[in-house]
């Protein structure tokens, strides 16, 4: 038998997971195509740098690669409209004209909107607009998301914005509330605001790593009422408890990735400690003594949000169940050698249960990496191609919510039996059946 040496040539195997009843999408020409076929059609061959032949090398190369993809932003601070989660958060809008004046208080190529500029931001044009969520402790400055935003906005006529998690991308936290892995309220507010300001623009979403987890939860919470037309999630950790234990159970995962992410979150805490410690349940010295990410979650996220343990937090915030409640076209992209969003956490069977979702899984690629020999990132091409195809060739108004047999949100039960609701994350007897 001839051994498979495709990995040595950078040839990644690409596999798709979806149900046999993948939704049919009507095209603008009057034909139809299944979501699964559209995803396969728009996904380019995954040919990666042969020198980066495993997930660890691909992922580490992110910190070594010095190439840049410039994107210019204008920032606006939003006041949360949530009574439960007050505070401010920053949204960075892709802007095509660089500002002559740099602002040292913001990331590179980012300046604030003036009041006059922002007052004129609304439009009745029909350009597609992409709402972007970054990864853990990241922001609009992250190069992995700029690899997607640059070609869409510069070459394909898209508009885009990045919803920065509270305290990220050099933004300030103005209350004792930070963010967590299922903090969907800020993106919900932004989507509602965009729908009002740009009534004719089709809205789309993309999330990366932790942002992918948050976006998936948001899509599940919205269900058939979601105002986004389609979405892509990249390197979603899916099951946070499984992913956390996967990292903790290896020396490299614990001493490199868990330690690195824990240190980043400690730095984030220190930048905003004066506000965060106003929560009497937060012990600053305990947080300063942590080493690993799971210890940070135990010391800050648990007391901040009322979780008894970090495992309870991970189970509640995981998006693998939310996947079942999604009612818009979703493409997920994961590498099976990802050392952070581990293969064991990917909900393969759930993708086969929901006709609105497709998983593209590659054998190589690492975490938000997929570096090709020329320095480009393959996943950015796959994500941009899918989004642009849906935006320009699919009649999105023709998509109708389809009842699936997965106990989705709003599903009715003819008999008086317990049902499973993904966003409730519990098998239970509906109230109307207990009377």
Residue-wise pLDDT for 224-252, tens only, equals 999 999 999 999 999 999 999 999 999 99
Indicate if the pLDDT at residue 414 is higher than 60: no
Give the C-alpha separation, 347 to 244, whole Å: 16
Give the C-alpha separation, 321 to 288, whole Å: 33
pLDDT of residue 407: 40
- Catalytic option among 338, 369, 388, 408: 338
Indicate if the pLDDT at residue 290 is higher than 50: yes
Q: Model confidence over 352-389: pLDDT tens digits? A: 999 999 999 999 999 999 999 999 999 999 999 999 99
Give the C-alpha separation, 426 to 422, whole Å: 7
Choice between 310 and 65, residue whose per-residue pLDDT is larger: 310
Q: 420-428: long-range contacts at Cβ-Cβ below 8 A with a sequence spacing of 24 or more?
A: 421/325, 422/220, 422/321, 422/322, 422/323, 422/324, 422/325, 423/220, 423/221, 423/223, 423/321, 423/322, 423/325, 425/315, 425/316, 425/321
- Catalytic option among 171, 319, 367, 369: 367
pLDDT level of residue 298 (50, 70, 90 thresholds): very high
pLDDT of residue 402: 52
Indicate if the pLDDT at residue 435 is higher than 60: no
Give the C-alpha separation, 93 to 71, whole Å: 10
Residue 47 is a catalytic residue: no
Residue 367 is a catalytic residue: yes
- Catalytic option among 12, 209, 244, 404: 209
If phi > 0 it is left, if psi is from -120 to 50 it is alpha, else beta; for residue 96 that is alpha
Q: Model confidence over 12-59: pLDDT tens digits? A: 999 999 999 999 999 999 999 999 999 999 999 999 999 999 999 999
Q: What is the mean pLDDT of residues 115-129?
A: 95
Of 89-103, 260-274, 356-370, the one with minimum mean pLDDT is 89-103
Residue 209 is a catalytic residue: yes
Q: What is the mean pLDDT of residues 254-261?
A: 98
What is the pairing mode between strands 159-163 and 203-208? unpaired
Q: Which residues of 200-239 are buried (b: 16+ CB within 10 A; e: fewer)?
A: ebbbbbbbbbbbbbbbbbbbbbbbbebebbbbbbbbbbbb
pLDDT of residue 433: 53
pLDDT of residue 393: 97
pLDDT of residue 396: 83
* Domains recognised in the chain with CATH numbers: 6-239+318-398 (3.40.50.1820), 251-315 (no CATH), 410-435 (no CATH)
pLDDT level of residue 424 (50, 70, 90 thresholds): confident
116 by Cβ neighbours in 10 Å (0-12 / 13-18 / 19+) ranks as exposed
Mean pLDDT taken over the chain: 92
How much of the chain, in percent, has pLDDT values that exceed 90? 86
In the beta sheet, which residues pair with residue 206?
132, 232
pLDDT of residue 409: 37
Q: Which of 108, 149, 109, 107 is nearest to 130 (CA)?
A: 149
- Its sign, for the CA torsion 388, 231, 261, 378, is negative
pLDDT level of residue 423 (50, 70, 90 thresholds): confident
**Length reported for the chain:** 435
Q: Model confidence over 127-148: pLDDT tens digits? A: 999 999 999 999 999 999 999 9
Q: 181-185: long-range contacts at Cβ-Cβ below 8 A with a sequence spacing of 24 or more?
A: 181/210, 181/213, 181/214, 181/240, 181/313, 181/314, 181/317, 181/318, 182/213, 182/214, 182/217, 182/316, 182/317, 182/319, 183/85, 183/214, 184/214, 184/217, 184/218, 184/221, 185/80, 185/82, 185/84, 185/85
How much of the chain, in percent, has pLDDT values that exceed 70? 92
Q: Model confidence over 185-209: pLDDT tens digits? A: 999 999 999 999 999 999 999 999 9
Q: Model confidence over 309-343: pLDDT tens digits? A: 999 999 999 999 999 999 999 999 999 999 999 99
């Amino acid at each position: 038998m001839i051994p498979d040496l495709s990995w040595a040539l950078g040839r990644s195997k690409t596999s798709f997971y979806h149900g046999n009843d993948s939704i049919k999408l009507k095209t603008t020409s009057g034909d139809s195509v299944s979501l699964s076929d559209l995803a396969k059609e728009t996904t380019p061959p995954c040919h990666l740098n042969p020198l980066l032949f495993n997930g660890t090398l691909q992922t580490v190369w992110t910190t070594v690669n010095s190439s840049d993809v410039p994107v210019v932003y204008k920032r606006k601070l939003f006041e949360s409209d949530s009574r439960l989660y007050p505070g401010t958060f920053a949204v960075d809008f892709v802007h095509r004209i660089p500002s002559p004046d740099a602002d040292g208080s913001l990331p590179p190529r980012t300046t604030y909107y003036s009041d006059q500029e922002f007052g004129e931001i609304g439009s009745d044009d029909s350009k597609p607009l992409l709402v972007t969520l970054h990864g853990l402790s990241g922001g609009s400055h992250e190069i992995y998301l700029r690899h997607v935003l640059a070609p869409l906005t510069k070459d394909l006529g898209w508009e885009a914005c990045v919803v920065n998690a509270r305290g990220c991308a050099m933004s300030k936290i103005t209350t004792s509330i930070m963010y967590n892995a299922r903090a969907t309220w800020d993106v919900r507010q932004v989507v509602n605001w965009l729908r009002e300001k740009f009534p004719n623009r089709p809205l789309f979403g993309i999330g990366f790593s932790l942002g992918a987890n948050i976006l998936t939860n948001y899509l599940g919470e919205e269900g058939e009422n979601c105002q986004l037309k389609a979405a892509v999630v990249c390197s979603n950790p899916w099951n946070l408890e499984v992913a956390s234990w996967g990292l903790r159970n290896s020396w490299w995962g614990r001493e490199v990735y868990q330690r690195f992410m824990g240190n980043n979150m400690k730095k984030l805490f220190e930048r905003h400690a004066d506000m965060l410690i106003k929560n009497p349940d937060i012990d600053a010295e305990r947080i300063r003594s942590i080493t690993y990410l799971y210890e940070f979650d135990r010391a800050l996220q648990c007391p901040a949000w009322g979780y008894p343990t970090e495992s309870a937090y991970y189970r509640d915030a995981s998006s693998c169940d939310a996947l079942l409640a999604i009612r818009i076209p979703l493409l997920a992209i994961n590498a099976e050698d990802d050392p952070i969003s581990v293969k064991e956490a990917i909900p393969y069977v759930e993708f086969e249960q929901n006709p609105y979702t497709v998983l593209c899984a590659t054998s190589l690629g690492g975490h938000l990496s997929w570096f090709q020999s020329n320095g480009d990132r393959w996943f950015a091409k796959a994500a941009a191609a899918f989004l642009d195809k849906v935006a320009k060739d699919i009649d999105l108004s023709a998509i109708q919510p389809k009842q699936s047999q997965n106990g989705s949100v709003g599903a009715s039960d003819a008999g008086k039996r317990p049902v499973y609701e993904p966003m409730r994350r519990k098998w239970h007897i509906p109230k109307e059946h207990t009377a």
